[in-house]
């Protein structure tokens, strides 16, 4: 099979690139080494659409962040992805820190933000916006256009849109080697599958620099930087409604307290540089005691945030290029391999702009411009969220399909119908975590203790697999083994 383009990595960037490319008469493959979309950095980050004042002026990062933030609302709305323009606050705890706030403000303006998009506020206004803020809070930088988006749902939605428009999704395709031969790339998966493509978009996140180096020896120093988080029960909301940053100090960037689009509150992330080897790139373990100090630091902004309300903890990795910028460029030896290196925060915010940028680079690379598809659908089938529906909407839905009247996940009120939809969707869920990311079944306070086995039953039925072959997240993440009898 020869594709026009192979996008490596189905994270929030790769999926949006695939979606953008699906507008054209091109044969596009989206390759993912894991069993599902959004399985790397995309599944474990803060979910913040940064306004763009934090990046160093003049960097690619600053440009794409500001642009991406402005694009996000439309992208999320079009794709039916949870998004909220909740605004962010960088809180200062002393008059001295207000100077830093002033610097950030100036930097934001230099980065192209308008005066409507950034505002320095006094304590009084801050307390009005966030009643639970610490007594020591002095003032803040308020960015009303900053938002939150569900990162994995954005990636899933973009992938569903792309697949719906003809992109082929190849999961568990772990690219082992890339060679260029007779005008085509040959990509070999570790399981023996081989595909060919004229152009490669290397958006493999933390592994992108590794793939590039293996291809042509080009070296980028990219550090897997770990961030650990504590996630709190939804009942805590509205402890805070804005994304609360702490004023950066010499000691670091501080700990966030912020809501997710589903109104869990989280604290984090920590920041720990890991070894730039395979172990470091895979290590998403939470360190013992790491969250104890995280909560203590978070309480500096919001004193009542408490580990007592925690329902889970997790860690994610960000691809930190030591130049601290996004590197988006063709390989030095081959203009047909476009690489995305160092896409860390604010990569999520920038992702729509990154996708657009790569789309244009691909078009420029092609000798003949491809035609646009006449029937391109910018969206996907809107997922059902039973929990947030009105009684009338619920009744109407149930009348159409009684599967929506059976609640499978109690904590998040997820119905059987939603779970079946998630499995049947283009590039749908094939494991427990895949269902969880799409429907929230198992994301609640019992963390799947009750619904896990029921979701497994539905997966087994839909996929026509024995139930003991259903995994948590692919690979060897078996949940149950052989029959007892």
What length does the chain have? 485
Tell me the two tokens of residue 302: 């919001």
Smallest separation, CB 79 to other proteins (Å): 27
Q: Write down the catalytic residue from 50, 242, 262, 320.
A: 50
Interface positions, 16-75, toward other proteins (CB under 8 A): none
d(CA 440, CA 447): 10
| Residue 450 sits in the site that holds other proteins (CB under 8 A) | yes
Smallest separation, CB 43 to other proteins (Å): 11
Smallest CA-to-CA distance from 141 within 267, 243, 252 is with: 243
Among 332, 335, 424, 475, binds other proteins (CB under 8 A): 475
CB 445 within 8 A of CB 411: yes
CA angle, residues 101, 292, 83, in degrees to nearest 5: 55
CB 51 within 8 A of CB 146: yes
Among 94, 449, 461, 469, binds other proteins (CB under 8 A): 449
Site string for other proteins, 89-108 (x = CB under 8 A): --------------------
CB 202 within 8 A of CB 208: yes
Among 174, 306, 447, 465, binds other proteins (CB under 8 A): 447
Smallest separation, CB 167 to other proteins (Å): 28
Stretch that binds other proteins, among 117-125, 131-139, 164-172, 442-450 (CB under 8 A): 442-450
The Cβ of residue 328 has, within 10 Å, a number of other Cβ atoms equal to 20
d(CA 202, CA 188): 14
159 Cβ contact partners less than 8 Å away, ≥ 6 residues apart: 10, 15, 18, 19, 30, 37, 167, 169, 426, 427
Among 263, 373, 381, 394, binds other proteins (CB under 8 A): 394
Smallest separation, CB 284 to other proteins (Å): 7
CA torsion through residues 36, 34, 171, 219, sign: positive
CB 61 within 8 A of CB 346: yes
Backbone angles phi, psi at 483, to 5 degrees: -60, 145
CA atoms within 13 A on the CB side of 427: 35
Count interface residues toward other proteins (CB under 8 A).
Answer: 57
Smallest CA-to-CA distance from 226 within 436, 49, 40, 12 is with: 40
| Residue 446 sits in the site that holds other proteins (CB under 8 A) | yes
Interface positions, 400-419, toward other proteins (CB under 8 A): 402-403, 405-407, 410-411, 413
Identify whether 50 is a catalytic site residue.
yes
Identify which of residues 216 and 468 has a Cβ nearer to other proteins in the complex: 468
Among 291, 298, 354, 384, binds other proteins (CB under 8 A): 291
CA atoms within 13 A on the CB side of 89: 28
Identify which of residues 59 and 447 has a Cβ nearer to other proteins in the complex: 447
Q: At what angle do helices 432-439 and 452-463 cross, to 10 degrees?
A: 110
Smallest CA-to-CA distance from 162 within 348, 72, 30 is with: 30
Smallest separation, CB 356 to other proteins (Å): 34
Site string for other proteins, 271-290 (x = CB under 8 A): -----------x-xxxxxxx
CB 311 within 8 A of CB 267: no
Among 395, 424, 461, 469, binds other proteins (CB under 8 A): 395
Kind plus residue range of the DSSP H or E element containing 242 = none
Smallest separation, CB 260 to other proteins (Å): 15
Smallest separation, CB 298 to other proteins (Å): 14
Identify which of residues 318 and 380 has a Cβ nearer to other proteins in the complex: 318
Smallest CA-to-CA distance from 219 within 333, 317, 316 is with: 333
Identify which of residues 119 and 454 has a Cβ nearer to other proteins in the complex: 454
| Residue 376 sits in the site that holds other proteins (CB under 8 A) | no
Interface positions, 107-166, toward other proteins (CB under 8 A): none
Smallest CA-to-CA distance from 169 within 156, 178, 188 is with: 156
Stretch that binds other proteins, among 78-86, 196-204, 346-354, 399-407 (CB under 8 A): 399-407
Identify which of residues 325 and 401 has a Cβ nearer to other proteins in the complex: 401
Smallest separation, CB 30 to other proteins (Å): 23
The Cβ of residue 372 has, within 10 Å, a number of other Cβ atoms equal to 9
Interface positions, 296-315, toward other proteins (CB under 8 A): 307, 310-314
Residues with a catalytic annotation lie at 50
Residues lying near other proteins in the complex (CB under 8 A) are found at: 230-231, 235, 282, 284-292, 307, 310-314, 391-392, 394-395, 398-399, 402-403, 405-407, 410-411, 413, 445-450, 452-453, 467-468, 471-473, 475-485
């Amino acid at each position: 099979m020869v594709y026009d383009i192979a996008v490596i990595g189905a994270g929030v960037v790769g999926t949006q690139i695939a979606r953008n490319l699906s507008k054209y008469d091109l044969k596009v493959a989206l390759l993912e080494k894991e069993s599902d979309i959004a399985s790397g950095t995309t599944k474990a980050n803060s979910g913040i659409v940064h306004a763009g004042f934090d990046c160093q002026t003049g960097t690619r990062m600053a440009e794409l962040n500001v642009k991406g933030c402005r694009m996000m609302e439309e992208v999320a709305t079009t794709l039916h992805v949870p998004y909220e323009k909740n605004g962010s606050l960088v809180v200062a705890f002393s008059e001295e820190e207000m100077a830093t706030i002033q610097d950030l403000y100036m930097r934001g303006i230099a980065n192209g933000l308008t005066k409507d998009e950034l505002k320095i506020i006094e304590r009084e206004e801050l307390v009005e916006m966030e009643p639970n803020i610490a007594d020591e809070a002095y003032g803040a930088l308020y960015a009303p256009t900053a938002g939150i988006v569900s990162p994995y749902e954005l990636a899933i939605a973009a992938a569903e849109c792309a697949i719906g428009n003809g992109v082929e999704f190849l999961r568990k395709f772990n690219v082992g080697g890339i060679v260029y031969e007779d005008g085509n790339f040959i990509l070999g998966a570790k399981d023996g599958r081989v595909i060919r493509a004229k152009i490669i978009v290397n958006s493999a996140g933390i592994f992108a620099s590794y793939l590039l180096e293996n291809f042509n020896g080009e070296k980028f120093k990219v550090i897997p930087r770990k961030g650990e988080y504590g996630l709190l029960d939804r009942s805590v909301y509205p402890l805070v409604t804005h994304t609360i940053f702490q004023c950066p100090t010499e000691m670091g960037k501080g700990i966030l307290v912020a809501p997710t689009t589903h109104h869990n509150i989280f604290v984090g992330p920590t920041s720990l540089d890991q070894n730039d080897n395979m172990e470091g790139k895979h290590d998403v373990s939470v360190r013992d005691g790491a969250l104890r100090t995280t909560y203590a630091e978070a309480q500096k902004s919001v004193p009542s945030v408490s580990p007592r309300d925690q329902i889970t903890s997790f860690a994610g990795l960000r691809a930190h290029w030591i130049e601290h910028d996004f590197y988006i460029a063709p390989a030095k030896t081959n203009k047909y391999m476009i690489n995305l290196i160092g896409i860390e925060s604010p990569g999520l915010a920038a992702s729509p702009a990154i996708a657009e940028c790569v789309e244009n680079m691909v078009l420029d690379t092609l000798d003949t411009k491809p035609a646009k598809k006449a029937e391109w659908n910018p969206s996907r089938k809107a997922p059902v969220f039973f929990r947030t529906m009105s009684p009338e909407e619920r009744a109407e839905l149930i009348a159409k399909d009684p599967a929506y009247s059976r609640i499978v996940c109690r904590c998040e009120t997820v119905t059987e119908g939603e779970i079946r939809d998630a499995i049947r969707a283009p590039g749908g869920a094939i494991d427990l975590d895949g269902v969880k990311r799409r429907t929230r079944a198992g994301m609640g306070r019992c963390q799947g203790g009750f619904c896990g086995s029921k979701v497994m039953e539905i997966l087994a039925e839909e996929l026509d697999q024995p139930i003991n072959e259903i995994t948590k997240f692919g690979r060897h993440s078996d949940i149950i083994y052989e029959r007892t009898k």
